[in-house]
Amino acid sequence: MAAQAGPLVDLSIDNDGIAILTMNRPPVNSLNLELLEEIGKSLDEVAKNKTKSMILTSSSPSVFSAGLDIMEMYKPDLKRAEIFWTTLQDVWIKLFGSSYITAAAINGHAPAGGCLLSMSCEYRVMVEGKYTIGLNETALGIVAPTWFMDTMCHTIPIRQAEYALTTARMFTVDEALQVGLIDESASDKADAIDKCKKFIRKFDKIPSLARAVTKQKIREGPLVRLQKNRQQDTAEFLGFLKNPKIQQSLEMYIQSLKQKAAK
């Protein structure tokens, strides 16, 4: 992978007071420890500055996020892997449990962890094109953690979520729209951001405390479930990394990605 040029995230506040958080880890915004730490810090900043809303997007022209960086899971240093996993848990708790309004302008592919980040927001607008979105873990021979599944069940009907999770279904933009995995499609990134802003403006006349408490109450179940089981969840992740069969599956998957990229 090429050396990182520039900061891993950009956090700016536009004239309407909306925070725009842009992931910037070329080529595919795969979520390694450092990117997750930067996303976490930005979410803290948005919360601290009492910004009313945030739009999550990517600087890539074709990928929102490729999900977790597989190199964090392949033959890892277990101490780093533990910090990696707890940082991912923190990011999800901060984003899914945030009191401010959140929307994702999905300007490209959003597999696995990329889909998770977008589903953790309250509204999703995806740019039209040959992009796909979904939780594809079973295709890699791995199991999405319960809180990934909970987030999907919070977004689309449980029957559709079970079918999508077990079959590792990657949805096209039209399919995602039909099932409710995204709320709107857009012609390009600027249009996606405009549509996210339109969603955010719907709350102009809603008292913000009532909105925030309602959001947090409706999201409480999945949040409490992870908070109660964090250590066990981390232990399962580390146990999974120690499994030789899983390491073999990851090695084959990395090879297939590299072969595809070389074509």
Ligand X SMILES: CC/C=C\C/C=C\CCC/C=C/CC(=O)SCCNC(=O)CCNC(=O)[C@H](O)C(C)(C)COP(=O)(O)OP(=O)(O)OC[C@H]1O[C@@H](n2cnc3c(N)ncnc32)[C@H](O)[C@@H]1OP(=O)(O)O
Write out the E strands in the chain.
9-13, 18-23, 53-58, 101-106, 110-111, 123-127, 132-134, 171-172, 184-186
Candidate residues 112, 165, 173, 250; the one interacting with ligand X per rule CB under 6 A:
112
Q: Positive or negative, the Cα torsion across 50, 188, 136, 167?
A: positive
- Please tell me the distance from the alpha carbon of residue 216 to that of residue 114, in angstroms, as a whole number: 22
Contact 192, 106 (CB under 8 A): yes
Q: Is 122 in the site for ligand X (CB under 6 A)?
A: no
Question: Is 111 or 222 the residue whose CB approaches ligand X more closely?
Answer: 111
Rounded Cα distance, 98 and 96, in Å: 6
Least distance in angstroms from the C-beta of 99 to ligand X? 26
Of 1 and 224, nearer to ligand X (C-beta) is 1
Residues 37-96 that bind ligand X (CB under 6 A): 62-63, 66-71
Q: Compute the least distance from the CB of residue 236 to ligand X, in Å.
A: 4
Which residue in 8, 9, 28, 121 binds ligand X (CB under 6 A)? 28
Task: Name the one residue in this structure whose structure tokens are 């232990």.
Answer: 235
Is 137 annotated as catalytic?
yes
Which residue in 168, 191, 223, 240 binds ligand X (CB under 6 A)? 240
Identity of the residue, 45 or 90, whose beta carbon is nearer to ligand X in the bound complex: 90
**Is 137 a residue that touches ligand X (CB under 6 A)?**
yes
Q: Which is nearer to ligand X, 137 or 183 (CB)?
A: 137
68 is catalytic: yes
CB of 143 to ligand X, least distance (A): 4
- Contact residue for ligand X among 145, 161, 165, 179 (CB under 6 A): 145
For ligand X, which residue of 53, 136, 151, 185 counts as binding (CB under 6 A)?
Answer: 136
Tell me the closest approach of the beta carbon of residue 261 to ligand X, in angstroms. Answer: 3
Total binding residues for ligand X by CB under 6 A?
28
| 236 lines the binding site for ligand X (CB under 6 A) | yes
DSSP H helical ranges for 52-145: 78-96, 113-120
Selection from 101, 56, 62, 67 nearest residue 193 by Cα: 56
Active-site annotation holder among 122, 136, 140, 181? 136
Q: Which of 40, 111, 134, 222 binds ligand X (CB under 6 A)?
A: 111
Residue type, 212: A
Phi-psi group of 22: left, alpha or beta (phi > 0 → left; psi -120 to 50 → alpha; rest → beta): beta
DSSP H/E element including 167: helix 158-167
Active site residue 162: no
The residues near 124 (Cβ < 8 Å, ≥ 6 apart) are: 103, 104, 106, 118, 181, 182, 183, 184
Amino acid identity for residue 258 in this structure:
K
Sheet strands (E) in 61-161: 101-106, 110-111, 123-127, 132-134
* Catalytic machinery residues: 68, 113, 136-137
Residues forming contacts to ligand X in the complex (CB under 6 A) are: 1, 27-28, 30, 62-63, 66-71, 109, 111-113, 136-137, 142-143, 145, 236-237, 240, 257-258, 260-261
